[in-house]
Chain A
Amino acid sequence: MMAIFRKIAEEVPCTVEVSHRFESLHAHVRFNNGAVVYPGDEVLVHGAPILAAYGELIIEDRQATITRASWLERQWTRATGDFGFMELCEFSFSDEVTL
C-alpha cells in the first residue's frame, strides 16, 4: 500500500554483476525474487563496495533494500525525471565547469 508521505522498505535478495574488462565495462543489479522498482524508489545493495580490478568479472549474491518512494515522491520523479536525459550524451556535464 502506498502512503502519501511515508516510505516503506523491503529486503530483497539480488545478484550483482560487475565487469571491468577490456571487452565490456558494465555493472548491473538483478532482483532475484522478481521485485520491481518504480520511479523514485531507492535501492541499496548491502555489503562492502564491489571493486572489480581490471580484467575481472564479479558476480555475487547480495541483499538489497528497496525503499519505496512515497506517493508524492513518485509523482515528482515522474514529472521531473525526464530532464536527466542529458547524461546519455557524450558531452554531458561532469562536476566541473572550468577544467
Chain B
Amino acid sequence: MNATPKGLDADYAELAAAQPQDTQAMATETTLLNPRFYTTDFDEMDRVDVTPVRKEWDALLAEMKADPNKGHFKKTVDWTEWDANWDGMEPKLKREFIDFLVSSCTAEFSGCVLYKEMKRRGSNPDICELFSYMSRDEARHAGFINDALREAGVAVNLGFLTKAKKYTYFRPKFIYYATYLSEKIGYARYITIYRHLEANPDQRFHPIFKWFREWCNDEFRHGEAFALLMRTDPKLTNSFANKLWIRFFLTAVYSTMFVRDHQRPEFHKALGVDIEWYDQEVFRKTSTIARQVFPLEIDIDHKRWLPNLRRMRDAFGQMDAGKRKGGIGGWFSHKLGVVKAASAFVALYTIPVIKRDPPKDVRLEPIY
C-alpha cells in the first residue's frame, strides 16, 4: 500500500548489519549492501524515440559526456582539515549520521545497478549512452560515501552477489516516474542542506556536506534526462491512469521522506534543521521543478497535508513498537499501525491536486 516496499517483497533492499567476515577489513562494523536486481520491458525501452526532443537530448548527453563533476569527488584540504572527528561525535548523532550515509550509499548503489542493467540489456543507442553516464555517476557517488563510512569504521560488504537474488520488475514508465522523482528530490534535499549550512557554517559537523552542491547537479541532470524521456510520449504524463500513478508516486515519495526524516532527530538537530520545515522546503522545490513535466502538483499547503503526514509518521512508530514488543499484543498493535498508515495515505492521496500545464520547453537549470 503505502510507500514502504516492506511486506510487498521480502527481498526488498535492506541493509542488514552483518557480522564482520572479512579479515582484511579494519572496520569494527560491516554493512552488507543488498540491492535489488531489476528487469524491465527492454523491448519497450528499445522503441523509445527521442526525436521529438532531439536537440535538448543531444545537448544534455554532451554535458554528461563532458563529465563536469569528474574532478569534484576528491578529498581536498576541506576534507582533511576537518577538525572534529568521528570519535568525538555524540553516539546517537553518530548512529543516525551513519544511517543517513548508509541509506544514501544504498540509493546510489541501487541506481548504479539499475542503470547498468538498462545499459547492458538495451539496444537503443540513445538510451544506452544515457544509462552508461548515469551508472558512472552513481558508482562514483557511492564510492565517495563509502569512503566517508570507512573513516567512521563502517565497512561495506559487497558479498551479496553470491547470495540468491531474485530479479524484480519495473515497468518502463515506473522507472521514469520513480527515477525522475528520486533524482529531483535528491537534488532538492542536498541543495537545501547545502544552502542552510552555507548560512550556518558552525552546524556543518562533517565535511561531506561541502560536496553537496556540485554533487546534486549530477542528480539534477539525471532528472532532466528522465523529463526528456517522458516528453517523448505525451500519454506518459497525460492519460487519466498515468496521472493517478504520478499522484501516487508523489504521495508515496513525499510521505516516505517525511517518515524517514523524523527517524533521525539528532541528525537534524545537529544540522540545526527543523524537520517539518526542511521537508516542506524540499517538497516545494521538488514540486516547482516537476512542473516541467508533471501536469499536476500535490497541494502541500492543504490543511490535511501536514496532519496526515504526522499520522503516518506515528503509525509507523506504532508498527515498529508492535514488532519489537512481539506476542499477540505486539501483533495487533503492529496491524493497527498498518491500518492507520493506510488510512493516512488515503487521506493524503485524496487531497485535491493543483493542475499544471507543463511548458513547451522542458529543460531546466539548477538554480537553488
Contacts and interface: CB of A to CB of B under 8 A. Distances in A.
Given A23-B140, A25-B109, A82-B171, A95 B9 contact: no
Interface stretch (B162-170, B291-299, B349-357, B359-367): B162-170
Contacts of A87: 5, 12-13, 35-36, 106-107, 110
Contacts of A43: 37, 164-167
A28 B108 CA distance: 14
Interface in A66-99: 67, 77-78, 80-99
A3 interface: no
A95 B39 contact: no
Q: Which of A19, A23, A50, A88 has the most CB of B within 10 A?
A: A88
A54 to B, nearest CB: 6
B178 A88 contact: yes
Contacts of B15: 94-95
Contacts of B124: none
A13 B146 CA distance: 30
Contact of B143 (A23, A36, A96): A23
Interface stretch (B46-54, B199-207, B233-241, B316-324): B316-324
A88 B115 CA distance: 11
Contacts of B99: 94, 96, 99
Nearest to B96: A99
A19 B120 CA distance: 18
Contact of B120 (A30, A42, A89): A30
A96 B264 CA distance: 11
5 contacts: A23-B140, A23-B143, A89-B185, A89-B186, A92-B260
Interface of B: 3-6, 8-9, 12-17, 21-22, 24-25, 33, 35-39, 73, 95-96, 99, 102-114, 116, 120-121, 135-136, 139-140, 142-147, 150, 155-171, 174-175, 178-179, 181-182, 185-186, 189, 249, 252-253, 256-257, 260-261, 263-264, 316-317, 319-321, 324
